[in-house]
A and B are shown apart, each in its own frame.
Chain A
Amino acid sequence: MIAEENQRSTMSSTPRSFWENTTNRRSMGRLVIYAILIVGAIIMIAPFAFLISSSLKVETQVFEYPIRWIPDPVRWMNYVESLTYKPFHIYFKNTMIIALLNQIAILGTASFCAYGFARIEFPGRDFWFGVALATMMLPYFVTMVPQFIIFSRLGWMDSYLPLTVPYFFGGGAFNIFLFRQFFRTFPEELADAARIDGCTEFGIYWRIFVPLAVPAFITVAIFTFMFSWNDFIGPLLYINTPDKFTVAIGLATYRSALGVGRTRWDLLMAASVAMTAPIVLLFFILQRYFIKGVVMTGIKG
């Protein structure tokens, strides 16, 4: 926005002939674009910088104003203190158990159902696919209360069953949709050849489509991991025992626990960094698949 103003002021003060030159105008335009993008990038990155900087400060420096951006001294012990203040290694292990189960559930059943939707023509297929799309638009909070009641009747409270079992049933419409889009790009001859050789439908799915769909599996695996890692409302509703907490719940309860007397923002920020780091790391390693996944769910809608 500042750049825009700058440009306007230069515009009025420079002679007309400058602006009549197309090359000049073009390069000024590009300059403005870069200026806006860089300012935007700074705005986006500033909260992260503030987070990391706060997480490495001595507590007194957290409460300095104006903000001290470079902590002095850099206090790495914040991370140790923050992650041992509560048994974060247990939360981490718990989250990983849930994440692993969700991976098995979603990768297995979503690709399985997607094969049916993508490659077999049968009466009622379009109807059921419509149902799948409709569930995608159904808000989680609408079924939250009755699901809670059902799970409590089943005696599943304070266990990981409500957080994992439902995903063994197709693994969510989004994931089915993503696999279906991917499977549809394969040529029909591929399956036909196998059929002539006497391969069953399951054999075609398992031996031909699954190995070919590795990129789709990676994409869905990433989003599944992010979902399990970030999920807050699920564990909030179903998990009560501190030993069974996930990282998200651990961090959330942290705030109130540390808030007794005063809030230890330094430690809270360190814990937030620790919770964000694995996701960011995953993103940098598998960036290609991330982008592909966002695009695939978005564009084809």
Chain B
Amino acid sequence: MNKTLDMPNQDSGGKFQLGKIFHWFKTPKGRRTVSGYFFISPFILGVLCWVVIPAGVAAWLVFQDWNMIKPAHFVGLDNIRRMFFEDPLFWKSLKITTIFTITSVPLSLIFSFSLALLINTKVKGLAVFRTIFYLPSIMPAVASAVLWAWILNTDFGLLNAVLSYFGIPKVAWLQETQWALPALILMSLWSVGAAMIIFLAGLQGIDDQYYEAAEIDGAGSWSKLIHVTIPMMSAVIFFNLIMGIINSFQVFTAGFLITNGGPQNSTLFYVLYLYRNGFQYLNMGYASALAWVLFFIILIFTGIIFKTVGRQVYYQE
């Protein structure tokens, strides 16, 4: 609300301006400003309390050594130095999370987009297929983690049972370092349904006239896909890509509940490592440094995507 009161004051200070201010409040613009800020004031307050202040606290903590019990003391860039030069687990968790992101996000996009394309071919039972594919993504993360811990069980799990039909021997998914991460990637692909629904709606929104025009030009199914569908869907694909990256950098529940980072830290996701530093080892300074670095990593990652893929996006209107 302060903002509203400040605005007319910008070029004045004296008493004699008071009338002018009152007058400004009565103009349509003044009124709109007051009521506009009145309506969005909860949001502004919220950003201040839960984003700006915490971000400031975190920025201060980056330079502190603090375990919430003893008073904090200033350590300069020590947290950052330790992270980059002395902490192999930081690099390991970053590597694991990056591998997870660059495999799970594109695969999810391909699967969800293909499913949407197939469903959109005016199949019978569209609603049934849509429901079946969407259901896994509404399952609570904790319940899904418990279920997958059992699916991935070496001796009695569903995955090994299915693979044995194809003559593939049992794999100790959650006990072997090279298989734990692929298993969690596989699990993440189970919930492609949410993205599929978004794609499906996008596909249904494409005007038929584009396809008709393409057909007149002699385009087959494949060239219609490449020259009409994908360009028309590029904004939606881009949105799903960005949100997929942001979310997969923050994957926590599966790594925490199913493997607890193991075996031998092979599923130590970045935010799981952050969580451990903050809430198990109580290194608040170090955890804040990790949080800020995560923020910049995501910023850079999405920035690159915006600069490269974002250029290709075609926006209607």
Contacts and interface: CB of A to CB of B under 8 A. Distances in A.
Co-assembled chains A and B: yes
Interface in B163-177: 164
Contact of A280 (B3, B138, B291, B292): B138
B142 A44 contact: no
A299 B150 contact: no
Interface in B37-62: 37-40, 42-47, 49-51, 53-58, 61
Given A66-B161, A137-B302, A169-B45, A272 B146 contact: yes
Interface stretch (A13-21, A73-81, A141-149, A213-221): A141-149
Interface in A231-261: 232-233, 237, 248, 251-252, 255
A47 B136 contact: yes
A30 B155 CA distance: 39
Contacts of B36: 116, 120-122, 125
Contact of B32 (A120, A135, A248): A120
B133 A40 contact: yes
B281 interface: no
Contacts of B229: none
Interface stretch (A4-12, A96-104, A287-295): A287-295
Contacts, number: 265
B108 to A, nearest CB: 14
Q: Categorize the interface residue count of chain B.
A: 35 or more
A152 interface: yes
Contacts of A230: 140-142
B314 interface: no
A51 to B, nearest CB: 5
B251 to A, nearest CB: 10
Given A45-B132, A135-B51, A51 B190 contact: no
Interface in A188-206: 201-202, 205
Contact of B284 (A63, A66, A145): A145
Interface in A75-132: 109, 112-113, 115-117, 120-125, 128, 131-132
Nearest to A140: B250
A264 B8 CA distance: 68
Given A45-B132, A230-B142, A265-B156, 17 more contacts: A33-B123, A47-B190, A50-B158, A64-B156, A117-B40, A121-B36, A125-B40, A141-B291, A145-B288, A147-B54, A170-B40, A205-B39, A252-B145, A279-B140, A294-B194, A298-B202, A301-B239
25 contacts: A46-B158, A54-B150, A65-B156, A66-B161, A67-B158, A112-B39, A113-B40, A116-B35, A116-B39, A122-B35, A124-B37, A128-B43, A131-B47, A132-B43, A142-B291, A145-B291, A169-B49, A169-B50, A170-B42, A205-B39, A230-B142, A248-B140, A271-B146, A272-B146, A272-B147
Interface of B: 3, 7, 29, 32-33, 35-40, 42-47, 49-51, 53-58, 61, 68, 115, 118-119, 121, 123, 129-136, 138-143, 145-151, 153, 155-156, 158, 161-162, 164, 190, 193-195, 197-198, 201-202, 205, 235-236, 239-240, 242-243, 246, 249-250, 252-253, 257, 271, 274-275, 278-279, 284, 287-288, 291-292, 294-295, 298, 302
